[in-house]
Amino acid sequence: MQNVDLFVFARALHVICVILWIGGVGFVTTVLIPAVRRIAEPDERLALFERLEQAFSFQAKLTTLLTGFSGAYMLSFIQGWEHFLQLQYWWLQLMTLVWLIFTLVLFVFEPWFLHRWFHLQALKDSDRAFTLLHRMHKILLVLSLLAAAGAVAGAHGFHFG
């Protein structure tokens, strides 16, 4: 496979992984968390949420990793690392920040302490814990969608300034 073909493959893989990853975040944020809060009794919410979210966990981890590797490959291919220093590529900086937050949450914070902390909070006050969880997911979803919109516009030459 030629280098240009690898770049095209990396871009396609990157887009597919972002769709699956952020689409999953969108589903969890707009459907799963609200449904669990409405349907389940407070003492049943945690078990239901964990059971349903576990099904998405592997997909989120795999697509987050592949998004990072394909993005790094594309930046290396176009020798675009200096774009991080240029304000017109704000979407690249935001995209990387979103990726870094999710990667840290999925691979560091959640296994080390966040899962246990949320579990304890949900046992103490389910409504409060799920409100906080929902709020954090909303913020990350909005940032993700802004990064995606900026990336699509930027990839087509529109740099907002």
Domain segments of the chain as ranges: 3-155
**Residue in the block written with tokens 């589903």:** 27
Q: Which of 34-43, 45-54, 98-107 has the highest mean pLDDT?
A: 98-107
Are 107 and 51 in contact by the 8 Å Cβ rule? The answer is no
User: What's the CA gap between 82 and 128, in Å, rounded?
Assistant: 43
Are 92 and 151 in contact by the 8 Å Cβ rule? The answer is yes
118: left (phi over 0), alpha (psi -120 to 50) or beta: alpha
Q: Does 125 have pLDDT greater than 70?
A: yes
> Which is more confident, 55 or 96?
96
Q: Does 1 have pLDDT greater than 70?
A: no
Rounded percentage of the chain residues whose pLDDT exceeds 70: 98
